[in-house]
Amino acid sequence: MFIGHYAAGFALKSVEKKASLGMLFIAVQFVDYLFFVLAPFGIEKFNLVENYTAISHIELVFYPYSHGLLASVLWALLIYGLWRTVPMLKAVATGKVALVMGLAVLSHWFVDLLVHTPDLPLLGDDSMKVGFGLWNNFAVAYALEVLLVVGSVVLYLRSTTAHGAMGKYAMIIFVGVLVGFYTMTVTVPFDPNLTVNQASVVTIITFSVLTAVAFWLDRYRS
């Protein structure tokens, strides 16, 4: 799952408007940030395999520290705890914001569950692994991600107030770009020369750029 994770961010923002959309963008992709930092060091592992699933060239081999259900719960509790205790975060957050941030982190595992092949460990790597496998059906997986994002953005727009033309139109344009970029990533031909390290760096940069835009555009809505 790629842009579908951001749907959780938009939806949670509509529930708690005091939460920063940019911070929610970080939270919903927190475990992927972790995964793509750990993978180049061999701590977690993925391979690039052409058409591994109908919609992805990534074979996820070993990632219990970032994507195990138990690990996801622990990461969510950590983020919740940070927002409740760190003075810099606590000063701008309520208990509800902290809860929303923790839920955003945890949402990643459950959204991945819909599309992954059975590779998501419940505990450690040797535990039961689950996944509903929608990535094996291109049309269904693609439609699911797009519908999740569009539906969540509608909630976000209805629950927040626009300030000026930027607030009224920019987020809609951004979502259009997001869907277009996602379409490109799932249709671009496989590059046999792309390495795991390169893919990790590109992914982290992509997440960071999208997050920066979310921080910026969220300023024009309240």
Q: pLDDT tens digits, residue range 125-156?
A: 999 999 999 999 999 999 999 999 999 999 99
Strands (E), 118-196: 120-121, 129-130
Residue pair 146/115 in contact by the 8 Å Cβ criterion: no
Task: Decide: 22 and 28 in contact? Cβ < 8 Å.
Answer: no
- Confirm if 9 and 153 have CB atoms less than 8 A apart: no
Q: For the chain, give percent helix, strand, coil, nearest 5.
A: 70, 5, 25
For residue 121, what are the contacts with CB-CB under 8 A and spacing of at least 6?
A: 63, 64, 67, 68, 69, 127, 128, 129
106/83 Cα distance (integer angstroms)? 15
Residue 181 exposed, middle or buried by CB count within 10 Å (0-12, 13-18, 19+): middle
Mean pLDDT score of the chain: 94
Residues 6+ apart with CB under 8 A from 65: 34, 38, 43, 44, 71
Q: Worst-scoring range by mean pLDDT, 58-62, 98-102, 163-167, 201-205?
A: 163-167
Distance between first and last Cα of the chain: 28
Instruction: Kindly state the tokens that stand for 144.
Output: 């699911």
Region 18-23: mean pLDDT is 93
Q: Phi and psi at residue 47, in whole multiples of 5°?
A: -115, 155
Burial class from Cβ neighbours inside 10 Å (0-12, 13-18, 19+) for residue 222 reads exposed
Cα–Cα–Cα angle for 122, 128, 129, rounded to 5 degrees: 75
Write out pLDDT tens, residues 176-195.
999 999 999 999 999 999 99
* Residue 129 Cα distances to 1, 5, 67, 74, angstroms: 17, 20, 11, 18
Listed by start position, the domains of the chain span 4-218
Per-residue pLDDT tens for 48-104?
999 999 999 999 999 999 999 999 999 999 999 998 888 777 666 678 899 999 999
Q: What is the pLDDT of residue 91?
A: 61
Q: Helix 196-218 vs helix 4-15: angle between axes, to the nearest 10 degrees? A: 30
